[in-house]
A and B are shown apart, each in its own frame.
Chain A
Amino acid sequence: MTLHKILTAFIAYICLTASGPVNGKVAPDFTLPSSTGAMVSLKAFRGTPVILEWSNHDCPFVRKHYGAGNMQRLQRQLTEAGAVWLTIISSAPGQQGHVDAEEAERLTHERGAYPSHVLLDPDGTVGTAYRARTTPHMYLIDENGVLLYQGAIDDKPSARRESLDGATNYVLAAWDAYQSGEAIDPAQTKPYGCTVKYAQ
């Protein structure tokens, strides 16, 4: 019956496939217009690690990270280390956080942010493909397009600025582990923040 067990394990293995944002699998590809009017594809960044950040500038949790300069620091640190940082806005028209290209540009300058691109996803297609649920909701994709981390930005689900002190930044931890070739743990966390404002 050992043979039987091996066969069962074999079925189990081949059944474990899913489409969507699955760690260890190629992240869903997308093409979105950026705040500068360019069309940006995830696939174009093969060879470079990519960070995805879901954002809504009016969300208090996003404001915590931008207001304290935490998000900008992370953006700067990781882009200077060679990552591409894509900030994605999936708020539907009329919903909180929805911006046009011009407003998105203005916000980037005003906040001193360092994203490689700010991408506009007003119909929520890409947000849905990634199952982005909150702002912020973070993803780390390696140079081969494989998803390494998805979830919260850190371990303090709070909108208070003080919560940043002593918080463990999961994205940074995942990045460091990825850079040093170690296993990423945790690789999936429950994201916290405001609900992504998809069309109701």
Chain B
Amino acid sequence: MVFGVGMRVVLALVWAALGAVGAFAGEDSAADTHSTVRLISEQSSIRPGQKFWLGVEITPRENWHSYWKNPGDSGIAPFLFWEAPDGTQLADPLFAVPEPLPAGPLTNYGYKGPTVLLIEGRAPATGGPSLPLKLDMEWLVCEVECIPQDASLSLDIPYGDGAKDPSYRETFSAARAQLPELGYWEADLNIIGPAAQLIVYMSQREAEDVSDAYFFPEQDGVTLYSSEQRFMVTPAGLVIDMERFDGDEVPENGLGVLSVAFTGGTTQSFEVDANITATASLPSVTSGASGLPALQNPPSFPLWQAALFALVGGILLNLMPCVFPVLSLKAFSIVSASGRSAGALRLEGWAYTFGILVSFAAVVATLFALRAGGAVVGWGFQLQEPIFVGVMVALMLLIGLSLSGLFNISFGAESAGQSLTSAGGTKGAFFTGVLATLVATPCTAPLMAPAIGFALTQSALVSVVVFLALGLGLAMPFLILSHLPSAAAALPRPGPWMERFKQFLAFPMYLTAAWLLSVYVSLTDSQAQMILLFSLTGLVFAIWLWTGTARASVKGLSAAVSALCLYVLLGAPGLLGGSSTANTASEEIPFERATLDQMVAEDAPVFAYFTADWCITCKANEKVALHRAEIQALFQSANIRVVKGDWTNRNDDIAQLLSDYGRAGVPLYLLFPGGGAKAVVLPQILTPGIVREYVESTL
């Protein structure tokens, strides 16, 4: 299959032996059935220990093609096997930028015309009069059919002054022009199940002229080669979305070539070495409608999986500090239920479940109603309503006092009291479920953010299914208990310890009430707080009156007092003209979308944080990290401007930004390095060390 090699080698040897510098034929060529190859040396002589360059030119027949180093779905990259004297270094070949070559449903990467592989070499420090190089190569050419080719080539390059051979100058400069340019941008390659996303952090100025872009990955498993790639220009840079096969193994690296067409008509290609992350969670950036870097929609997963996740989350809710006391009461009712029939217990279990589900349905319905009305809301939206918070303070306080034993609101099968939850049997169980949901909402936001974030971005059906599964999970432990008398029997025996334990459980309720009170103050003002405290006192007084007497007149007085107090409590925020603005530290810039967009585009870095007074995590982070003097000093020394978004009251801009980052609630911490670069998202739990680490690694 190899023609003329022998003669060429002989000629080369003869010339080399003659030492006729300049007469060295710096090439050897061969032809196989469907292509020819040529091995060329850029220099007519090389110097010992010095660098030199070789080229291997592959010229397939017309309409046939050869392959890039990653040939795509099929095909094979050229294989070079060198024989050279000891001490000779020959690097892996550099490939020209390929083009996608579709073949039916498959796509290959390769070259339709001639292409030159460039090989950098280094001669041994000492040697004979010349450097003999022998190359055995195999390569594949295809039109539709594929024909493997092979050849043996050799060059014997004389040692000398290292002068370049003018006859190959054009070939080498043309070959170098075909190579991808060195990439100088950072890049991320996110592998997310059936999708992959390449983010090249070029500046917006560079990116905005891009009219087309394509990524040639070096590794399998990045993309389905035949699928279309979609590119977007974002302030963070260029983003390419690719489809991939979810079953493929995750690639080892993010190497590849990025080809970019600019509006001026030029095309340039760049080497890319992207940091690879394989994740099933949120990818980092795509375009935000508003111009800020934003997150892609959370990955979609099948409905039953979302529901299952919500169910597990619901079960975990039972352990929340403000839910547990309420549920303990329910547990007491089961413990003390030994006298009742199994059927009645089961009915109660279902009534309790039903109560929870109805409450969750009400929450979903409210969310939908608000969204339909155009309001942007997230989980915890109830806590932006002062009246709701005021009522919750009262509720927590009353439950606490009842647990303490000030008055006897009893639960389940115990003797009658005044609360609906005490109504005994099924009705009582139903309202215990409602109560559980009600007290659960403030505590659940941080834990449930992923599921709720998912649910809120989905269709109505998905939202409803997820929320109901969440409710079912919350109800699950008692539902199971009510159906398993043997399990109930395993619970501790009722006894005096229950009274003591109940009293202990009052304290989490008082703490919750205290925290809600501080939320209430931040939503309103100190006057409203005073009115709330007066009406709470009145309410407790009314209940005390009621429970201490059997006389109708006193009961009437009690009812009147409590009605008045409730009226004042509900009316207080309205009477005082609604909410006040939250206070912001002097060096912090209050969040506005337009301002932030502008600041992010400037050179200096920006730290943006989103908080709310009712968000305990946020407050804790501010206390232990953000507001510490050392962190403030760090911000100052790094010239970081701080933007604070306060979500204590509802704010559509903040809600929009949160959803851009795939969040349904606060906290959210963003560090923008400046110059329009994308934000680094900090964890939801901060320490001074974490903040410092992020600042130092980002800037």
Binding site for B on A (CB under 8 A): 1, 3-4, 7-8, 10-18, 20-23, 25, 58-61, 92, 95-96, 124, 128, 131, 133-134, 157-160, 188, 190-200
Contacts and interface: CB of A to CB of B under 8 A. Distances in A.
Contact of B145 (A10, A12, A96, A200): A96
B104 interface: yes
B114 interface: no
A128 B312 CA distance: 38
B106 A61 contact: no
Given A10-B309, A191-B74, A18 B194 contact: yes
Contact of A192 (B76, B105, B312, B313): B76
Nearest to B75: A195
B105 A198 contact: yes
Given A20-B245, A159-B148, A197 B74 contact: no
Contacts of A192: 74, 76
Given A3-B316, A18-B247, A158-B79, 7 more contacts: A7-B312, A11-B280, A15-B280, A157-B79, A158-B76, A193-B74, A200-B144
B477 interface: no
B653 interface: no
15 contacts: A3-B447, A12-B280, A12-B281, A15-B299, A23-B247, A124-B104, A131-B245, A133-B106, A134-B74, A159-B140, A160-B138, A160-B150, A194-B146, A196-B74, A197-B104
Contact of B105 (A58, A124, A191): A124
Contact of B148 (A4, A7, A60, A134): A60
B247 A95 contact: no
Contact of A17 (B246, B313, B316, B684): B246
Interface string B467-505: 000000000000000000000000000000000000000
Given A158-B138, A188-B249, A14 B74 contact: no
Name the 5 nearest CB pairs between A and B, nearest first: A18-B246, A22-B247, A159-B148, A12-B280, A195-B74
B530 interface: no
A95 B313 contact: no
Contacts of A190: 220
B281 A8 contact: yes
A195 B450 contact: no
B104 A12 contact: no
B149 to A, nearest CB: 9
Task: Determine the main DSSP class of B at the interface with A.
Answer: loop
Contact of B247 (A20, A191, A194): A20
Contact of A95 (B73, B140, B144, B146): B144
Given A20-B247, A197-B104, A11 B450 contact: yes
Contacts of A11: 280-281, 301, 309, 450
Nearest to B454: A11
A23 B150 CA distance: 35
A73 to B, nearest CB: 22
A21 B144 CA distance: 25
Interface in B131-170: 138, 140, 142, 144-148, 150
Interface string B629-651: 00000000000000000000000
Interface residues of B, number: 44
B309 A8 contact: no
Contact of B450 (A8, A133, A193): A8
B120 interface: no
Given A15-B299, A20-B245, A59 B146 contact: yes
A152 to B, nearest CB: 10
Contacts of A191: 74
Nearest to B103: A195
Interface in B419-449: 446-447
Nearest to A199: B104
B685 interface: yes
A83 B144 CA distance: 33
A15 B281 CA distance: 9
Contacts of A4: 446-447, 450, 684
Contacts of A92: 104
Contacts of A15: 193, 280, 299, 301, 305
Nearest to A135: B74
B183 to A, nearest CB: 24
B193 A16 contact: yes
A154 to B, nearest CB: 13
Contacts of A21: 247
B248 interface: yes
Contacts of A13: 280
Contacts of A1: 684-685
B684 A194 contact: no
A140 to B, nearest CB: 15
A200 B106 CA distance: 9
B74 A133 contact: yes
A22 B75 CA distance: 22
Contacts of A158: 76, 79, 138, 148
Contacts of A22: 246-247
Contacts of B75: 195
Contacts of A188: 248-249
B76 A157 contact: yes
A89 to B, nearest CB: 15
Given A10-B312, A16-B280, A190-B220, A60 B104 contact: no
B267 interface: no
B279 interface: yes
A134 B281 CA distance: 33
Contacts of B105: 124, 128, 198
Contacts of B410: none
B141 to A, nearest CB: 11
A191 B145 CA distance: 17
A190 B144 CA distance: 20
A157 B450 CA distance: 46
Contacts of B281: 8, 11-12
Contacts of B145: 58-59, 96, 194, 197
A92 B104 CA distance: 10
Contacts of A131: 245
A158 B246 CA distance: 29
A159 B32 CA distance: 14
B476 to A, nearest CB: 16
A65 to B, nearest CB: 13
Interface in B188-245: 193-194, 220, 245
B194 to A, nearest CB: 7
A192 B425 CA distance: 71
A134 B147 CA distance: 13
B108 interface: yes
Contacts of A133: 73-74, 106
Contact of A159 (B104, B138, B447, B684): B138
Nearest to B683: A1
Contacts of B684: 1, 4
Nearest to A197: B144
Contacts of A194: 74, 142, 145-146
Contacts of B106: 133, 195-196, 198
A21 B281 CA distance: 23
Contact of A96 (B144, B220, B246): B144
B218 to A, nearest CB: 11
B301 A14 contact: yes
A107 to B, nearest CB: 17
A8 to B, nearest CB: 6
Contacts of B144: 95-96, 195, 197, 200
A4 B271 CA distance: 38
A134 B220 CA distance: 14
A190 B76 CA distance: 10
A3 B147 CA distance: 57
A12 B250 CA distance: 15
A59 B104 CA distance: 17
